[in-house]
Amino acid sequence: MSHNLNIAVLMGGPSAEREVSLKSGAAVAKALESCGHRVTRVDPQDGVLQLPPGMDVVFLALHGTYGEDGSVQQELEAIGMPYTGSRPTASRLAFDKLASKRVFWEQGLATPRFCSVSQSDATIPSDLGMPLVVKPVRQGSSVGLSFIRETGQWVSALEEVLKFGGEALVEEFITGRELTVGILGEEACPIVEIRPNDEAAYDYEHKYTVGATRYFCPADLDEEVTRQCQLLALNAFKALGCEGYGRVDIMLDGDQAYLLEVNTLPGMTETSLLPMSAGARDMGFAELCEWMIQDALDRHAKNNKGNPA
């Protein structure tokens, strides 16, 4: 790869995950500069894309709305600019937790039972049992996530989740081990196990509070379970039409793995889970960022073969 590319790193943006995205973008920009590239940091804070002239490729370090929902991808496609990660349709599908779960269900991929609720006065879906997980349909990073362990918590949890959009996803709560599988191209990386220190579930606070959670990579799983989880993750990634890289979250109950969701633009700080996963196969952070840029350029060239600009 040429070591003097002009790369725009898109970071920040207008979503609820702006602060996390700024950290991802800062880490990525520094890593790409260390590889000899000319990097411009671009913050579409108001959801308006303004790229400086002369860019060769865009690194998407955005998270949440605008960054992960296919919007910015659509704009970059329109100007013929190569960019990292999945294309608009797959991004939109993965970001919509309800739509992606329906795809998993149709494809026979194991996922917790679920329903959607759009009224704040809705009754508890009795067929899912207790406890329940309630989350916004279109938010990332555990934003708005609630756990309901008794019926008295239902009304306030639902009201909180519906603040993030008109629809809530309600899932049966799977107890077990929380895993995440990094995907690079056609391959699943070593699995990361996530263990919150106080037995609480992995919510926003645990995700971003230093020392609140421990991570184990590669996860201590037997070979067969590891293979099953990696295959489930790859199948989920492909079922949504995702490309390039991502991260697939899984709950493991005994030997049964359940899909939670696919992240198309996962966190990219040096301590984030995809870099941790790649690190377990001896790929350093800067090397990972370079791989993502090269992957973006290769796929762009392939997708535009025979389509002269």
Residues assigned a catalytic role = 17, 141, 208, 247, 249, 261, 263, 267
3-class DSSP state for residue 209? coil
CB 295, CB 244: distance < 8 Å? yes
Q: Going by C-beta distance under 8 Å and a sequence separation of 6 or more, which residues neighbour residue 86?
A: 73, 94, 241, 242, 243, 244, 246, 264
Strand partners, 248: 181, 262
Q: Which amino acid is at 266?
A: P
Length of the chain: 309
Q: Going by C-beta distance under 8 Å and a sequence separation of 6 or more, which residues neighbour residue 196?
A: 202, 206, 212, 213
Q: Give the C-alpha separation, 253 to 258, whole Å.
A: 8
Compute CA 177 distance to the chain's CA centroid, rounded to the nearest angstrom.
19
Please name which of 209, 232, 208, 230 lies closest in space to residue 219, comparing C-alpha atoms.
230
Q: How far is CA 282 from CA 187, 285, 286, in A?
A: 14, 10, 12
Q: Kindly tell me the number of DSSP H helices and DSSP E strands found in the chain.
A: 9, 12
